Amino acid sequence: MFLNFKIKNYRSIGREVVVDFTISESQRKNAYSEIAGKAINNIACIVGPNASGKSNILKAIVFFLRYLYRSYSVPSLRGEDNVDTHFCCKNEPTEFSTEFIDNEKQYKYEIALLKGEVHKEVLSVLKEDTKRYNLIFKRESNKPIQNIITINEQDLERLRDDMSLLSLLLELNYFGKDEFSTLRKFLTNVHPGFVIGRYNPLQELSEISKELEKDKLLFDELIEELKNIDTGISGLKFGTLQKANPDLTGESEYSTIITTHTIDGHLHPLLLLQESSGTLNYINLFIRLYKIFRDGGLLIADELEDSLHPDITNRIINRFLNKEKNPNDSQILFTTHNPWFLQNLTKTQIFIAEKDSKSETELTRLDEIQGVRNDENYFIKYLAGEYDGRPKIKES
């Protein structure tokens, strides 16, 4: 599980912001996991007005996790264009770090990127007897690498200034098969970059269809879930659509899904693309949820409630809160514009995002605000403006 994320100088984030999943002894109230003696929240919810930087926090974490794990094998993750600094800090490094527990050991990983190149990178492990971090490796610009693991010289020659050393070591199997699996066990609907003109709904449906065809259990559970949430869908089957222009692979068809609605004993088929946007969004989200609950890991979701009824969004949140339904200690980090969900959370699970006078994103966990009690209705208090984090709208 992840204990925290720290971000500095990325997009609207100037000074360091912290997403902290850990909770103190006195705040162990609801839906937390206990691993290696630490209490860790399964949920972190970020609320705040538009343009406060909520999505940028998620984009930073997604970019960070992808970079540390895949920058060796995926060159497109590298380069200065992938790292957007705050406009006030163009010549300063962008810094990321995380503490996490993997196979009962606690690690800390830090990386600083300057103009697309690694300025500093450190991996450490916590020693239980001293409660201090011991170095696994440390890499700094223009300095020899310090490390306690032996790295083959030929492998080091593959290392470039714009990739993480950790990604190279993981790709070349310097660690055990299951070691650091925490770092790759995350799923998201967030794309770190600004994407325009790339969305192809038929292509997306084709990918969903292929995924469901490969996993019969997922397919069956999806049908059952669509019945449970009152979509009117009674069944699913696979089909194909012709492409107007075959792509470079030579494929002339899209795989697709056909839904079935049973009305007065008669079956009425529809292309999935003809279903509501809420149904389409939930199917996409359910596939991620299925994998996260099956394998454990972190779901990072921007605007979790997008096109969904509050009851369905609550259904998702409550599953993370339920130990029986979440046996693998899965975590979720999500943003929302609907404060309704705050009333089911504790003050250690709620974060308020705002912009300060310098247009920098600030993030405050609710238990850091003096006077906030455990028994408050956070939904009502937030609407009343007691925690700030609401748009300051002026009438013209």
The string of DSSP letters for 224-243 reads: HHHHHTT-S--EEEEEEEE-
For the four alpha carbons of 189, 195, 196 and 201, in that order, the dihedral sign comes to negative
97: CB partners within 8 A, 6+ apart: 5, 6, 108, 109, 110, 111
Regarding whether 231 and 301 lie in a shared domain, the answer is no
Domain boundary among 254, 280, 306: 280
Q: What is the per-residue pLDDT for 91? A: 92
**Residue 309 in domain:** yes
For residue 108, the model assigns a pLDDT of 98
Asked if residue 347 and residue 220 are part of one domain, the reply reads no
Among 249, 280, 311, the domain boundary falls at: 280
Does residue 92 share a domain with residue 239? no
Question: Where residue 63 falls among pLDDT bands split at 50, 70, 90?
Answer: very high
Whether residue 329 sits in one domain with residue 272: no
- Residues 368, 219, single domain; the answer is no
**Would 315 be classed as within a structural domain?**
yes
Claim to verify: residue 234 and residue 263 sit in the same structural domain = yes
pLDDT in tens, 336-362: 999 888 988 999 999 999 999 889 999
Q: Which of 39-53, 140-154, 164-178, 380-394 has the lowest mean pLDDT?
A: 380-394
Is residue 374 one of the residues assigned to a domain?
yes
**pLDDT, mean of residues 164-188:** 93
Residue 304 in any domain: the answer is yes
- Residue 392 falls inside a structural domain: no
User: What residues pair up with 123 in beta bridges, in sequence order?
Assistant: 109, 137
Residue 198 in this model has a pLDDT that exceeds 60 = no
Looking at the chain, list the stretches that DSSP marks H as alpha helix, in order from N- to C-terminal side: 54-70, 153-156, 165-171, 201-214, 216-228, 277-295, 310-321, 378-383
Helix (H, G, I), strand (E, B) or coil at 79: coil
95 and 44, same structural domain?
A: yes
Is there a contact between 64 and 7 (Cβ–Cβ < 8 Å)? Answer: yes
> Please, are residues 254 and 240 in contact by the beta-carbon 8 Å criterion?
yes
The reply to whether 114 falls in a domain is yes
d(CA 148, CA 259): 56
Q: Is 376 exposed, middle or buried (0-12, 13-18, 19+ CB in 10 A)?
A: middle
Backbone angles phi, psi at 46, to 5 degrees: -110, 125
Q: Is the pLDDT of residue 197 over 50?
A: no
pLDDT in tens, 241-261: 877 666 555 567 878 899 999
Q: What distance in Å separates the CA atoms of residue 231 and residue 222, rounded to the nearest whole number? A: 12
Instruction: Examine the pLDDT at 196 and tell me if it is beyond 60.
Output: no
Q: How many domains does the chain have?
A: 2
- The verdict on residue 195 lying in a domain is no
Lowest mean pLDDT among 15-24, 94-103, 174-183, 235-244: 235-244
Least confident piece of the model among 122-131, 199-208, 241-250: 241-250
Region 215-244: mean pLDDT is 92
From first CA to last CA, the distance across the chain in angstroms is: 48
Whether 76 and 142 share a structural domain = yes
Look at residue 60 and tell me if it is in a domain.
yes
| Share of residues in the chain with pLDDT > 90 (%) | 71
My answer on whether 102 and 16 are in the same domain is: yes
* 21-30, 147-156, 180-189, 266-275: the lowest-pLDDT one: 21-30
Q: Is 243 in the same domain as 379?
A: no
Q: What is the CATH number of the domain that holds 374?
A: 3.40.50.300
Give the structural domain span for 177: 2-185+296-383
Q: Which residue would you say has higher pLDDT here, 123 or 386? A: 123
